[in-house]
Chain A
Amino acid sequence: MAVEMHLAEVNSQQIGDEQERVSPLKSLSITFTLNDKTVSVAVDAKEILIDTLRESFGLTGTKKACGTGDCGACTVILDGKAVRSCILLTAMVAGKNVLTIEGLGDEEHIHPIQQAFVDAGAVQCGYCTPGMILTAKALLDENPKPSAEEIKEALSGNLCRCTGYTKIVEAIEKAAQELA
């Protein structure tokens, strides 16, 4: 039944009709769970998740850098897995669960992984840090006692141009001990 209704909707569309094509953008209403709260937001079909997070929700902890999914600065956790918010359309996360760095912890409720990054001195300029921490969170949720090699593999898509990675790996090892 749902299929038939959807088909009927599709068939009723005037493909190529100028009236249809120039109608306002942000016509899609997307509902998903963001940092444990159900949210709805109006988006354009071509809007990417990082832009929605930063511009519609003011969650600027998620950083935009390469825009091609290569650097990891825009990492968020989607249904428990670290993903790239710069190559996901916002419409793709409808009904799903998104966690950003703001949802992990703040100054008053600092998460053990965040604390471990502070303690290990794993932060320099800080631009890659939210992505690193969320990648670490997804890793430790799946594998609570990762080896240094497993940590490096998990971070292989997160670029840091300051630290040389050593202290980031140390921080995640510390966090794993703390969370054990």
Chain B
Amino acid sequence: MVRTEFYNPSSLAVALELLDQYRQQAVIVNGGTDVVEKIANGSIDPAAIIYIQGISELKGIGESNGFVRIGGAVTYKEILDSPLCSQFSALKQAVLEVGSPPIRVVGTPAGNLGTAVPAADCNVALMALDAVVVAASKQGERVIRLADLVVGYRKTALAANELIKEIRIPVVPGVNTASAFVKLAKRKAQDIAQVSAGVRLTVEGDVCRDIVVAMGAVNKVTVRAYSFEKLIAGKKVVDGAAAIKDMVPAEVALRSPGNDLFAARPGAKAEREYKEAVIGVVVERAIKKAYAEILGGRKSYGR
């Protein structure tokens, strides 16, 4: 048993210095809702635990240069309480699906991205909202698109000495854009998604001018369903939604050889067939939910 050092740095510079020294020997604890369990049961045994909730530079939600910026140590509860985040319906709807209220008090979206589980609710909503992360290390900062951040099951493109400093969500002003998140799970509360979808929809009249579709639990990584987007954009929203309802987008990988997440497991076939049967429907529901918000908003503004 190795002795583990616990660090509670109060500044980002110190945290990055520690990460740079310990590299793979360190584990970052943010909310800890995923990683503390692994530390406690011994499945990971780091030389250093770097707890980042005390770093004020990673706290807070602000807006600048067309982005809402969510600090790397911001919790789910803080997002729910944030007036700035209330414009992102998909985000709020996804956050409300994460665990239970006591998990949301400590858990963080940045931690969820770092953990990189394909069923993670918030990651799907963030991808639909076209979010990026700012990764910081002692050497500097870089911006990473979500599609490039998650590279495999529980694997990210982050270097061992990097942490997620910030999540940036572009602001899309106007009453013609809305977003939504839909999750299909076995239970109402505290369940992992069978299939989830996040959508950001922009319309012109009743026509889809722009759409982002992200999906969870259908591949090793959170996927952006570009093939669906192409099918829907330019069509009337209702026609676009109907067109994809019975389809499986090309980005879904439930049958790929070597996809150990879904293959060669008891019940995998039923799960795969079930997922394939509902994928289009879940996306259709997300589109309709976002569209309903746009139509509802127009009504409330008397249009």
Interface, chain A (partner B; CB < 8 A): 2-3, 6-7, 10-11, 13, 15-16, 20-23, 25, 27-28, 44-46, 48, 67-70, 72, 75, 78, 81-84, 86-89, 91-92, 94, 135, 153-154, 156-158
Contact = CB atoms under 8 A, between A and B. Distances in A.
Contact of B105 (A46, A68, A82): A82
Nearest to B17: A7
**How extensive is the interface on chain B, given as a class?**
35 or more
A87 B39 CA distance: 9
27 contacts: A3-B13, A7-B17, A13-B5, A16-B25, A23-B3, A28-B6, A45-B49, A46-B4, A46-B40, A48-B36, A68-B37, A69-B37, A72-B102, A84-B106, A87-B32, A87-B33, A87-B40, A88-B32, A88-B106, A89-B6, A91-B6, A91-B8, A135-B102, A156-B188, A157-B99, A157-B101, A157-B102
A46 B32 CA distance: 12
Given A7-B17, A88-B32, A89-B32, A81 B102 contact: yes
Contacts of B100: 72, 156-158
The interface residues of chain A, by DSSP majority, are classed as mixed
A7 B10 CA distance: 11
B153 to A, nearest CB: 19
Nearest to A157: B100
A13 B4 CA distance: 12
A7 B188 CA distance: 47
B41 interface: yes
A135 B41 CA distance: 25
Interface in B1-46: 1-11, 13-14, 17-18, 21-22, 25, 29, 32-33, 36-37, 39-41, 45
A30 B59 CA distance: 23
B40 A83 contact: no
A68 B39 CA distance: 11
A3 B11 contact: yes
B40 A86 contact: yes
Contacts of A92: 29, 32, 51, 53
